[in-house]
Structure 1
């Protein structure tokens, strides 16, 4: 097993903290919560403005360019050797999105705090409203390009040119095509299987579930997607925690696919 998730009582006090709290139904909430109080030394990464580039056209939460992400890391003084602890409100997909981005950039010591902000507060870590500043760093990043797939890669899977299991992380109702609250057509990418990411939630933790491990095997090449590259990240992260090596993400997701290719339904 790979150690990605960490409990609040196992954190090194010399580590760096990233507050990734967010709410897709109230996009100002995460920043407001950070301003009300956060772990001392934590910087805030906003899903919409830091972890996405909404000006791009690849789905609803497009991944920023490498140059944008490197600028974010360097602005906040991150070093590749830092122990980095990412938290959100707990059992949410925002810390895992930030962790995935750090992993993509080659950070080897980044962790998701299970239990989120409240767990850190409960173990007595100092809470403050002070916004920290850090000396800017200059990073030489080794990007893990192999974990990020583009639309053409998915076309190749759907057409059988590449052998891989597509795993749709959205709710069964959206996967089945019963309704679609965000995108122009309901359904899923052809050939994809469904595993609702919310099944990984246990209280304020994300956990490895037997139902997920039964769904896909370590022998398969697995490509996870969701609507826009947010809720796919808990499944990706849990599979990596469980020791699955062959896992990738189609980060642009269904919201990108639906604008270019036919979809399937289970009706």
Structure 2
């Protein structure tokens, strides 16, 4: 199944075979996503909280570690997710949070997950209806089975930076260690390549065409002929980059703990500046 769906195809799908719609609007340091959901959302969409439903509490494993299979399963069942029904996830526009939802559902075994390209803004700009009604959700029967997507830990990320391609999805300034607004240590994993996730989308928040993405990643050394991994600050924007790589036809593993996990071990080396 193609990972992206546009507003035209989603509107058609909603009339023919309605998917489970998950609203995952979220922004680091911004207003709570639920407030945006309550002001208006796609009809029938259920709000999913990235911090509480798509991640475990922060700690040494990172700021957004994976939730336990049971916790994730319970959250998705409450949202109405079932294995035999397509799930479409969306956020405001650029799919940063939706990418994390897509990846987490895929990792825990759901094979029919799509991301609304351009998100809520694309839906509204197309003149399609929104709602403030909270749907009466019929609980789903989703069973969380880990292992559906490749995963890296700190040791695996360090090794991949030497033997394959490890992409750093944060801003170039954070990669170089010039600015670190979130984590207590600045810099990057030695050998990692800077690949800011903002380069995956256009000004409208929609993903660049597959051929353009493939060319972008190819220039960074990431192709389907080498092992590729991605990390960021806490495993959110890196999931977006894995989604972009998937659109480009390049499989990639995610280091979920990312930089916030890497620096929890003071013996892990830190690099600054350019590669």
**TM-score with structure 1 setting the length:** 0.91
Is residue 175–residue 194 contact of structure 1 (8 Å, CA) maintained in 2?
yes
Q: Which residue of 2 aligns with 1:18?
A: 22
Q: Which residue of 2 aligns with 1:251?
A: 256
- For residues 55 and 69 of structure 2, what CA distance do their matches in structure 1 show? 11
- For residues 103 and 265 of structure 1, what CA distance do their matches in structure 2 show? 33
- For residues 58 and 132 of structure 2, what CA distance do their matches in structure 1 show? 30
3-state secondary structure, aligned to 2:52: coil
Query: Where is the helix percentage greater, Structure 1 or Structure 2?
Result: 2
Q: Which residue of 2 aligns with 1:7?
A: 6
Is residue 86–residue 112 contact of structure 2 (8 Å, CA) maintained in 1?
yes
Is residue 83–residue 141 contact of structure 2 (8 Å, CA) maintained in 1?
no
Q: Which residue of 2 aligns with 1:166?
A: 166
Q: Which residue of 2 aligns with 1:236?
A: 242
Is residue 165–residue 226 contact of structure 2 (8 Å, CA) maintained in 1?
yes
Q: CA deviation at 1:124?
A: 4.9
- For residues 59 and 27 of structure 1, what CA distance do their matches in structure 2 show? 22
- For residues 140 and 31 of structure 1, what CA distance do their matches in structure 2 show? 25
Structure 2: tracts of 5 or more residues without a match = none
- For residues 140 and 24 of structure 2, what CA distance do their matches in structure 1 show? 21
- For residues 147 and 220 of structure 1, what CA distance do their matches in structure 2 show? 14
Structure 1: tracts of 5 or more residues without a match = none
Q: Which residue of 2 aligns with 1:121?
A: 124
Cα pair distance change 1:164/1:64, threshold 3 Å = same
- For residues 83 and 148 of structure 2, what CA distance do their matches in structure 1 show? 17
Structure 1 position 69 matched with structure 2 position 72: yes
Aligned residues: 261
- For residues 256 and 142 of structure 1, what CA distance do their matches in structure 2 show? 23
Q: CA deviation at 1:138?
A: 2.9
Is residue 206–residue 234 contact of structure 1 (8 Å, CA) maintained in 2?
no
- For residues 145 and 211 of structure 1, what CA distance do their matches in structure 2 show? 26
Q: CA deviation at 1:125?
A: 4.2
Q: Which residue of 2 aligns with 1:179?
A: 179
Q: What's the Cα RMSD here?
A: 1.8
Moved over 6 A (4+): none
Cα pair distance change 1:253/1:55, threshold 3 Å = closer
- For residues 218 and 134 of structure 2, what CA distance do their matches in structure 1 show? 41
- For residues 219 and 153 of structure 2, what CA distance do their matches in structure 1 show? 27
> Which residues in structure 2 correspond to 1:203-222 (within 5 Å)?
203-207=204-208, 208=210, 209=213, 210-215=215-220, 216-222=222-228
Q: Which residue of 2 aligns with 1:151?
A: 154
- For residues 136 and 79 of structure 2, what CA distance do their matches in structure 1 show? 7
Q: CA deviation at 1:146?
A: 5.1
